[in-house]
Amino acid sequence: MSSEVQQFSGENAAHIAHFADTGVSIWRYNIDTREVWWSTGFYQALGYQKNDIECSYSVFFDYLLYYEDRQTFLKTTLLTSNSVENSAHIRLLTKHKGYQWFQNTTKQYITETGRFIYGILINISEAKTAELKAVENETKFAEIGRIAKMGYWQIDCRTMELELSREIYDIYELNPSLPLSVDELLSYFLPQHEPVIKKAIDDALQHCIPYDIELQFKTAKENIIWVKCKGIPVIDEYGRSKYLRGIFQNIDSIKKRGITMQSSINLLDDQNKRLQNFAYIVSHNLRSHAGNLKFMVDLFEETPAEHERAEIFSHIKTISQSLSATMSHLDEIVKMQAEISNGTKLLEFADIFTNVVSALQADIKMSGAHINTNFNNAPTVNYIPAYLESILQNLLTNAIKYRHPDRTPVINITTYKAGSEVFMAFEDNGVGIDLERYGNQLFGMYKTFHTNPDAKGIGLFMTRNQVEALGGYITVESAVNVGTKFTIKLV
């Protein structure tokens, strides 16, 4: 140690010598002789032994100092004026830990023995790393928010002051420099949803109740989107809300997918119900025929009288016919499913209508029906030919079958477009139907509502199935003794 102390001179020497013993890393540079001295602490700080490296200006500058930091070092060290303290962050190569950050504080002294620059190095790598980490985390955090389309906010419950992350402005499609109040933020929600979020925030502020809701929202650029609003109150020692913080997330794509899925589920549910209904009805009808058949056969055996036997046998014949009719209805339904695979074609309504009319010519003539058509607004449709024919035929048959006895049947058939959708309206002035009573059964299988002997209860069941199989729907309006109007969304 004593040899080190001897190297110092002047009034500063004592102080420096004192520090040299404490392990502080100090360096000294003689501007005139370019002589360099490093304290023991200097070597320790960099992890070297004294004989590991040569103590020289060139070793420091060319070897230890990271090349990018040389400019900084020169500016803050050598080019400083007398007695001004300067500080800079530089990276030095340590023996085992690679480059580490150091704070280098320097000062120039001019003494009788020469001009010196003294420097003290403090390892600040940890702090520097933490600082860099913080910046990195912030970037990551911002990136996460951007990717998740999610922003963070906080309300100071006392002042109602609002803190918003940048993503919130992005979701609002607003300029981030715009100051916003809580009420202004809430005014962007759709009118039916604004009271919901207001109440949620009030409850959170007043009663510390957290919330997590999904609402619709109109951005500054008038885009309507679904957002997730989640708020959690932070309470003080008295249990009152101190802050209300939460997230605000654009969940439009997820929500819309969810809604689409829900409607698919509803459709499947409907189809499933129809299938089950179909199975019940088919079994019911087959059962009643089968039951009757057995019944008649048993009676036939128990009845000795010839003329009674003949009567029973005529009933057996009727049952046999009914059974074949039921089977042919089943065939039709199965065929209807098969038709879907044949695919759609561009069809002219006028052509299909002409075919149907010629098939029903006898009935139309007998009833004296007037049929008015207007296909001008939608002359064509992409549809399964057999379906469109069947739909028109069923509706036309029904209109004639259930015509009003006191007046000439008038049937109006119109097609029209709404956007890309094609509709057909089918209106008659027949006996009509009491929808209050029969509305939910109208399209059911083997449901008949009149004593008309021709009623089989299969037509509208088929029509609805055909329409729905292609993604459309059929609705009905009717008044007893006035008429019936079917509206069909074909595609």
Query: Given the rule CB under 8 A, which residues bind another protein?
Result: 280, 283-284, 287-288, 291-292, 295-296, 299, 302-303, 308, 312, 315, 318-319, 446, 448-451, 455
Q: Which is nearer to another protein, 152 or 295 (CB)?
A: 295
Q: How far is the CB of 292 from another protein (least distance, A)?
A: 5
Q: Which is nearer to another protein, 239 or 304 (CB)?
A: 304
Q: Which is nearer to another protein, 176 or 291 (CB)?
A: 291
Tokens standing for residue 453: 């002997």
CB neighbour class for 376 (10 Å; exposed up to 12, middle 13-18, buried from 19)? exposed
Task: Encode 474-491: b = buried (16+ Cβ within 10 Å), e = exposed.
Answer: bebebeeeebbbbebbbe
Q: Which is nearer to another protein, 49 or 451 (CB)?
A: 451
Looking at residue 448, the DSSP 8-state letter turns out to be -
Length of the chain in terms of residues written: 491
Please count the other Cβ atoms lying within 10 Å of the Cβ belonging to residue 379: 12
Q: Which is nearer to another protein, 70 or 317 (CB)?
A: 317
| Cα-Cα end-to-end distance for the chain | 98
Q: Which is nearer to another protein, 236 or 269 (CB)?
A: 269
Q: How far is the CB of 448 from another protein (least distance, A)?
A: 5
Radius of gyration of the chain (CA): 46
Element containing residue 406 per DSSP (H, E): none
**CA-to-CA distance for 222 and 201, rounded, in angstroms?**
24
Q: Which is nearer to another protein, 112 or 302 (CB)?
A: 302
Angle between helices 306-340 and 459-469 in degrees, nearest 10: 20
Q: How far is the CB of 323 from another protein (least distance, A)?
A: 12
Nearest to 467 by CA among 360, 388, 372, 378: 388
Q: How does DSSP assign 203-215, residue by residue?
A: HHHHH---EEEEE
Element containing residue 430 per DSSP (H, E): none
Amino acid at 250: N
Tokens standing for residue 470: 């292609």
Q: How far is the CB of 430 from another protein (least distance, A)?
A: 17
Q: How far is the CB of 457 from another protein (least distance, A)?
A: 9
Q: How far is the CB of 464 from another protein (least distance, A)?
A: 19
Inter-residue contact 221 to 202 (CB < 8 Å): no
Q: Which is nearer to another protein, 88 or 476 (CB)?
A: 476
Q: How far is the CB of 313 from another protein (least distance, A)?
A: 12
Nearest to 488 by CA among 469, 479, 42: 469
Q: How far is the CB of 461 from another protein (least distance, A)?
A: 14
Tokens standing for residue 26: 């100090």
Q: Which is nearer to another protein, 183 or 306 (CB)?
A: 306
Q: Which is nearer to another protein, 18 or 287 (CB)?
A: 287
Q: How far is the CB of 325 from another protein (least distance, A)?
A: 14
Q: How far is the CB of 368 from another protein (least distance, A)?
A: 26
Q: How does DSSP assign 20-79, residue by residue?
A: HHHT-EEEEEETTT--EEE-HHHHHHHT--TTTS--SHHIIIIIIB-GGGHHHHHHHHTT
